[in-house]
Chain A
Amino acid sequence: MDPLDIARWQFGITTVYHFLMVPLTIGLGMMVAILQTMWVRTGREQFLRATKFWGKLYLINFIVGVATGLVQEFQFGMAWSEYSRFVGDVFGAPLAMEGLLAFFVESTFLGVWIFGWGRIRKGLHLAALWCAVIGSWISAFFIIVANSWMQHPVGVEMGDDGRPVMTDVWAVLTNNTAIAAYTHALFGSLVVAGMFAVGISWYHLWRRRHDGIDTVDPSGSVIVGEGAAPGRDKTDHGVWIWSLRFGAVVAILGFAGTVITGDVQGKLMYEQQPMKMAAAEAACHTGGSFSVLSIGDPGGTCDDVTTLIEVPGVLGFLGTGEWGAAMPGINDLEPQYIENYGATLPDNPLYGERAGSEIDYVPTMWVTYWGFRLMIGLGAVVAGAAVIALWLTRRGTVPRSPWIMRLAVVGILAPFAANIAGWIFTEMGRQPFVVAPNPDHTGIDQVFMYTAAAVSPGVSAAEMLFSVIALTAVYAVILVFELFLLVRYVRGGTAAAMPELTHSPDEHDDARRDDVLAFAY
């Protein structure tokens, strides 16, 4: 097997997996911080319960993100040493900044928050959470700055040894691609967290109705009742209805944000990576129509693609803002790429057996085509669902239908899928380059690198196979454990996250003592 293919699979598997946890961490962290702020300001019990419940899920998810993030930091050097050598002067800096300015903040203050309940002043405790949450936003910024440099290299000059040398860190940090991608990813994270809250809250409200705790009057308005079990009182209803509607609003705002930032990204993509834009459309011929459905040989060439349904004009608008503007198709772009960057890989020992082989400038089209559509389509469906959720819950509870409840719970997965589809699209759409050349005037055209040249020359296929199998297996096991715990704590409701709801203070000698930790592993 080719070490290059294994290394790519490994990067794909570990990164996609890591990015299952990241958007939930970013979005849910912000929601928990807002809920705790509401509690500190109003003193209302329902916000405290919501903070503790969502906080618990946040932490179960957070730790898996932390654990799998370590791999990300190491594998550039391990599997992609030539890449690291080539880009090190500019690419390492944002990673180190992420460590120094974000990871420390995130992990230290989260530790203070987890163990700080009852230990430090309320305001300080809340501030610790905000620090941790803002730390995760800063962290996302630096990592996307690094990624965007691979999409749109700026702030560098070619050095004497053929490696780019950073000349302007400000240009790297304010890379237009980075600003657009960063905000896009943040808004996408809000959709993930918002729908997470909607689905889980829906389940609990439905359960309260199913168990006969909450009923509705003839006009459909909720009559909140009390259940026998700990934590299933009237406040409990407030926790879920508030979380549900809050989540729906967050998801809708998040989606609106992704539309605006995605539009900016589309225009940048047209300028910076026209081939990716064409591949997103499986557009062989120059034109301005947006394909709704194209079919053909998935792995094939342009000749096999047939567009069945298309909307005239939309593509031109996506790319340039001008209705119906002509966008270059693959058949026109490919000769340009061959002219600019050559038809074959250079005869350089760096490329090993691949030296001199023909370069395919067209990304794997079925991935880019469907990745792009899945992202947009699922995003829109989710936003519509959030609006419907707001409408259905306008009288204070959810319908009794178990099918709508199941839909709401399964719907949690949709924004995750949209996020992943977007990333797979943008990363695979950049191939065959790991650092994409930018043909426009703002990029530096000489700075590019083929993925084929980036892999570690000294590492054998066997080693890579070992790591990809070991990591995938461990990741799979951890995912099972994480889902098991999430489901368990979701079903436990707020009482699961708050022992004090189950054990009254006089029940135990232990609980009366004031030196018992409010939280412990």
Chain B
Amino acid sequence: MDLLPVIWFVAIAVLWLGFLALEGFDLGVGMHLLFGTKNERERRTMLNTIGPVWDGNEVWLITAGAAIFAAFPLWYASLFSALYVPLTITLLALIARAVAIEFRGKVHTRRWAEFWTWCLGLGSLVTAFMIGAVLGITSTGLPIDANGDRVGGPFVWVGIPALLGGLAVVGFSIAHGSAFLALKTDGAIRERAGRIAATWGPLLLAPAALWAIWVQILHGGSLLSWALVALAVAGAAFAWIGGRAGREGRAFAGYVWFIVAGGGSVFAGMFPNVLPSTLDDAFSLTVSNASSSPYTLGVMTVVAAFGLPLVIAYQSWSYWVFRRRLTPGMIPDAHVVLPAILRAR
């Protein structure tokens, strides 16, 4: 097996894990807006914890998609066309969510805020579930034919793996979002969020753990992938213990650790497959048969080797800039926009 496609398999895994570790908590915060509080000022406080960083987090998803296109075009073509319906729903949810974050605070009426809160919360929930479902299906396989096209209709993806993957990302996001809110706010929000993670943590992470183990059994996991599963369980324990002890930094780090190790075990477990075919093993897309030419992979390796560390550096810096905990008292009063012409009359 050539080295470059393997490097790119790892790079794409890193992009997906970066996406889950970062956007995971802002999806979680989005869902928290629905059930976490009824108080508008508290909602705004929560939203502002992710305000400066959510868009940068989402780029991990875009880049993961584009990297699959560049490095494994056949994987990109088969996966995205086969999962046409779930990806359309994902896009609609992502659009609703992005617009909601920006538009919600622009008008200060109850109806306006409530409408966008629902867009944001449901958008986050549906995004998390659908991305989880897509990843779940990718790891277990689809009925694709020799050309890589889906057989069996638009809903052939519906099943246990989709459900498990969807629940895994939703559960993880809620737990991770709780840990993030506990770390980034003060007062009542901090206490409530900390309690959610401390109480429900294990249950919220259970689907993810189950998914990771399923993949190992399905593909006959290697020593490495099983070790990653064990490491993920240790991360979950670390997060939970940290959360119960009120060590919010540790809890948050523990969830990152959990998803990196757990998600890593899924990628390691399916390797060298990138999209297994459930019809015939010969139709499965693998690291070797779906990749771009060595030249293209070489070019992209140079770009990524230069770009990715830089991204991590300045994105970390932006987190550092906005490191302060937020409280409802720090949220400015609603500024009602009046037309200049009305005021003049």
Contact = CB atoms under 8 A, between A and B. Distances in A.
Interface of A: 59-60, 63-64, 66-71, 73-74, 76-79, 81-82, 84-85, 87-93, 95-101, 103-105, 107-112, 114-116, 119-120, 159, 165-167, 169, 204, 207, 211, 213, 227-232, 456-460, 462-464, 466-467, 470-471, 474, 478, 481, 485, 488-489, 491-493, 495-496, 499, 502-503, 508, 510-511, 513, 515-521
Contacts of A456: 77, 81, 84, 149
Contacts, number: 302
A84 B69 contact: yes
B37 interface: no
B35 interface: no
A104 B56 contact: yes
B85 interface: yes
Contact of B66 (A92, A167, A462): A92
B337 interface: yes
Contacts of B326: 517
Contacts of B62: 69-70, 73, 99, 103
Contacts of A116: 52, 321
A110 B55 contact: yes
A466 B56 CA distance: 30
16 contacts: A66-B55, A67-B95, A85-B73, A88-B73, A92-B296, A93-B292, A93-B299, A96-B67, A97-B307, A98-B66, A111-B55, A159-B293, A227-B344, A456-B81, A485-B103, A495-B338
A266 to B, nearest CB: 32
Nearest to B104: A521
B340 A204 contact: yes
Given A88-B292, A96-B300, A114-B51, A474 B65 contact: no
A77 B69 contact: yes
A207 B340 contact: yes
Closest 9 A/B residue pairs (Cβ): A88-B73, A77-B80, A92-B70, A99-B63, A458-B149, A92-B69, A229-B343, A81-B81, A96-B70
A120 B317 CA distance: 12
Interface in B48-85: 48, 51-56, 58-59, 62-63, 65-71, 73-74, 76-82, 84-85
A76 B296 contact: no
Given A70-B95, A116-B321, A207-B340, A88 B84 contact: no
A256 B261 CA distance: 55
Contacts of A463: 84-85, 88, 154
Nearest to B47: A521
B84 A459 contact: yes
Nearest to B334: A499
Contact of A107 (B55, B303, B321, B331): B55
A213 B303 CA distance: 56
B52 A112 contact: yes
A510 B321 contact: no
A463 B85 CA distance: 7
Given A99-B67, A165-B293, A120 B73 contact: no
For the complex, would chain B's binding face be called helix, strand, loop or mixed by DSSP majority?
helix
A164 B343 CA distance: 63
Given A496-B337, A520-B44, A90 B296 contact: yes
Given A114-B52, A492-B340, A471 B91 contact: yes
A85 to B, nearest CB: 5
Contacts of B102: 59-60, 63, 521
A277 B311 CA distance: 42
Contacts of A60: 102-103, 106
Nearest to A97: B303
B99 A63 contact: yes
A492 B337 contact: yes
B148 A100 contact: no
A457 B149 contact: yes
A92 B337 contact: no
A81 B77 contact: yes
